[in-house]
Amino acid sequence: MGIALKIVGLDNEGCSIELDDELLTCIEYLHHTSTVPSARTYDPGYTLLISGKVMPMKESGTGQEILELSKWAHLPYEPGTDYYRNVYITYEKDEQVIREINFTNAYVLDYEEGYDNKDSVGMFKLSLSQKKDQLRKINFGQQEESDTAVKNTPKLPTTHNLVMNWEKKSIDGGSAPTRKDILLALFAKKLDTLPGIDEHKDYRDAVINRFMSGTPIAQELFLKYVKNNSLLELTNEDGSFYRDSKDTVFLNIAKDYTRKGTGVVFFHEYGHYLDDVAGDLSIDAIFRKCIMNDFRSAVESRANAMFLRELKRELVPVLGHMRYKLEDIMNPDYWNGTKETWIDFKKLYENISDELTPHELSAVSDLYSGLSIVKVGKETQRIVGNWAHPVEYWSADKDKVFVEAFAHCYEAQFNSVRRANLRKYFPTAYKRFEELLEEAYAK
């Protein structure tokens, strides 16, 4: 993926518009201040300039999205019109997230469309700005992580500083250690208390490297909450797991060398560990509601785009206003033919499954597999992309999807691509997860 745009309604989260580089040609971010050169203005402005192609629905599955974009641009400024919306911009290159920008209360400044007989492809230009009283709530994703790391990184706990006073002489010949030095020494020291880890030098080094690339808050919480000797190696089991009755991670190290990335399972299981010992963070009602709403928004958006794409042009004026809800999509009566539907829900699930096949989307795939289960007679239909827990795992306990969501979000703290994907597919849940980490650190 190059550039991507997602627009979500503030009043109606089911109202979602998504565009990628198939239709987008350019996105510009402008930060402009007063032209008076004597001092920094107290009233800066922020603008997004977005341009792309207008194509017929028969040529592009997202052609309807441009129509929805145009409708938003023409909404009158009246109560209840969902005039302000949440806008997410992502720019990726070589599987790395270069920049993420989120205007939390965006509105349309200008919208233009132009058409050319020569190429039979139209062009649109969209200018967005952030509501004036919400300027401080603009989020800058990856840029924010790097540029404000020092400002937002909590201080190391006192016990850790005491350890480093003792360790100090062994770092750079006694010179004052950097934060990186401290983290490396503390994590390596804790890692070496885990039985058997010294027998897997390559694995140990890979886990350390993954930890050092993590977000500051995730690093701090690991050091704060994880006890020494909290891991046992499994050699005769397929999977790994966390046992809360023993505050212990049971890890099959040999199974943690995967295309998802070495150490993914390690930090996932310690996500469960942290969730438990920090006070069952995943039971948070807001987090759970956000998981469901984000899933609803994504699936409904894809279902309605599919409906409009397949709808005959002459029926658009009559039926184009119809919208599918998640309750319709997951109603077995539509799957077994008891009720008629305009689109094939099985095909919809297959399309989303195909979308989630990349290794870096394994966490999203797993959560979708638990959230999308539909029982159709003796068969079970669900979304399965790169990876999924068995149906029986999800069916045994409805809370497990939220527990797994927390662990997936924590594991993603140690890889920017996986983190960006969770933020993309679960935007509000991921934001709440970050708040839960801050609350856990403050305890």
Q: Three-state SS string across the chain, please?
A: CCEEEEEEECCCCCCEEEECCCCEEEEEEEEECCCCCCCCCCCCEEEEEEEEEECCCCCCCCHHHHHHHHHHHCCCCCCCCCCCEEEEEEEEECCEEEEEEEEEEEEEEEEEEECCCCCCCEEEEEEEEECHHHHHHCECHHHHHHHCHHHHCCCCCHHHHHHHHHHHHHCHHHCCCCHHHHHHHHHHHHHCCCCCHHHCHHHHHHHHHHHHCCCHHHHHHHHHHCCCCCEEECCCCCCCEEECCCCEEEECHHHHCCCCCCCHHHHHHHHHHHHHHCCCHHHCHHHHHHHHHHHHHHHHHHHHHHHHHHCCHHHHHHHCCCCCCHHHHCCHHHHCCCCCCCCCHHHHHHHHHHHCCCHHHHHHHHHHHHHCCEEECCEEECCCCCCCCCHHHHHHCCCHHHHHHHHHHHHHHHCHHHHHHHHHHCHHHHHHHHHHHHHHHHC
pLDDT reading at 230 higher than 50: yes
Query: Mean pLDDT: which of 52-56, 119-123, 439-443 is highest?
Result: 439-443
pLDDT given for residue 149 in this prediction: 37
pLDDT reading at 8 higher than 60: yes
Can you tell me the mean pLDDT for 52-61?
68
pLDDT given for residue 384 in this prediction: 97
Confidence class of residue 159 from pLDDT cuts 50, 70 and 90? very low
**Residue ranges of domains in the chain, CATH in brackets:** 3-147 (2.30.110), 152-278 (no CATH), 282-442 (no CATH)
Confidence class of residue 198 from pLDDT cuts 50, 70 and 90? confident
Confidence class of residue 141 from pLDDT cuts 50, 70 and 90? low
pLDDT tens string 329-356: 999 999 999 999 999 999 999 999 999 9
pLDDT given for residue 121 in this prediction: 78
pLDDT reading at 256 higher than 60: yes
Can you tell me the mean pLDDT for 213-220?
91
pLDDT reading at 59 higher than 50: no
pLDDT tens string 80-100: 667 889 898 988 876 667 888
pLDDT reading at 147 higher than 50: no
The residue that leads in pLDDT, 217 or 174, is 217
Please state, rounded to an integer, the average pLDDT across all residues of the chain: 83
